[in-house]
Amino acid sequence: MPLFKNHEHTRKNMAGETLEVGQFVAMARKTLINEPYLSNAAIIGELTKLTLARSGHSYFTLTDSNGSIDCVLFGGNTSFQSQSIKEGMKIVAAGGIDVYVKTGRMQFKASRVQPVQSIGELEKARRELIQRWREDGTMDRDRKLAPFIPKKLHIITGGGSAALSDMQRLIEDRWPSFSYTVIPVLVQGSSAPGQIIRALKQAEKHADLIIVGRGGGSPEDLWSFNLEPVCQAIIDCKVPVVSAVGHESDFMVSDMIADIRASTPSNAIERVIPIKEELIALIAQVSDRLDFAIDRLFLQHNERLSNIVLRLSSAPMKGVSNAKLKHNRLLNRINSSIERRISQEKNRLNSIESILSSTNPSRVLERGYSMTVNEKGSPVTSVVGLKGGDQLTVVLQDGQVDTEVKK
């Protein structure tokens, strides 16, 4: 009995249209190579079955305890030979998945390879560097401040990389036509550290802010940013440096010693380039607040000035009033003193008058006495000096009598 009674019925009940083998493999290949995670990957394994073909291509297999995959590096003989890569070594291969349609054979098409130092050895060196810089104060040094709006931003990263594309797109979204300079470098491999260092020295001559970094990858791919020469170049740079390496979970030595650490390249852009429209709105808002504050301050000072003027205008009248009061008090004291003095003098005059009155000759005459005066009008108080014929006048209370001295 045939497996399928009706071929057409089978075609309709299957998930999709029945395909030829070649079509199916081609479709599978297209699906795999268009998967970003598979088309741009880095894998680590032990190198086996290495063949350096006469054509210059290298064929090999990468193996670990969980699996293996055949690989090819077109024109890769030189790379293997220059790095002294041999079977049995642990290497990292960067590239992507591919399928050979004719045989349906899946393989990893590498773009480059490099030997892998033991992760334990790398991590040990990293920890020793961190410890040394903590002890000598390098980790605690003062950080340079980034400008609020960089005018000469330089970006050091892989040319044509996804990280660069993300940063460029984000810059255009946040501040259209924002001016910046890209310095493309290798960000992994043996040549990467030297290129990054040279780029930093080149950028600091012109930039006011530098972003250095790359997208995510394996620890080995990111390791250039754990190396002392690269990190020392960041420290020595006279311009503020933003370290933006890998994903948020990745934490490199460059992140620890840079002036600013960004969790990703995109985050670096978000931290150093404001959104233009928001900035304009903020400036307008601050301007309004400033105008309000100035008006309020002006009113407060104006009110204070008015109070001062009012005080100054009333001060003379108050002074006159006080002076007048003091004058009246002084005048009263003077008048009282004068009246007191007058009274004292009046009493003294009365006493004198009483004394004079008691000694007045007319008062004596009123009591029955008389007074004799000579021709000159001088009182005669004794007979001594009188002689016969002298003319005298006797003064009485109610008149006078002339008389002559007889012997």
51 has a pLDDT exceeding 60: yes
Task: Check if the beta carbon of residue 71 is closer than 8 Å to that of residue 110.
Answer: yes
Express each pLDDT in 360-392 by its tens digit: 566 666 666 777 878 877 777 777 777 878 787
d(CA 171, CA 157): 15
Q: Is the pLDDT of residue 193 over 50?
A: yes
pLDDT digits (tens, 9 = 90+) for 314-338: 655 555 566 667 666 766 776 676 6
Residue 106 or 154, more confident: 154
Mean pLDDT along residues 347-355: 62
Q: What predicted TM-score, i.e. pTM, was given to this entire model? A: 0.50
- pLDDT tens figures, 119-156: 567 788 888 999 999 999 999 999 999 999 999 999 99
Q: What is the pLDDT of residue 3?
A: 42
> Is 356's pLDDT higher than 60?
no
Q: Which pLDDT score, from 0 to 100, does residue 205 have?
A: 96
Q: In this predicted structure, what is the pLDDT of residue 331?
A: 64
Assess whether pLDDT exceeds 70 at residue 57: yes
Q: Residue 280 above 60 pLDDT?
A: yes
Of 218-222, 284-288, 324-328, the range with the lowest mean pLDDT is 324-328
Top pLDDT among 6 and 290 is at: 290
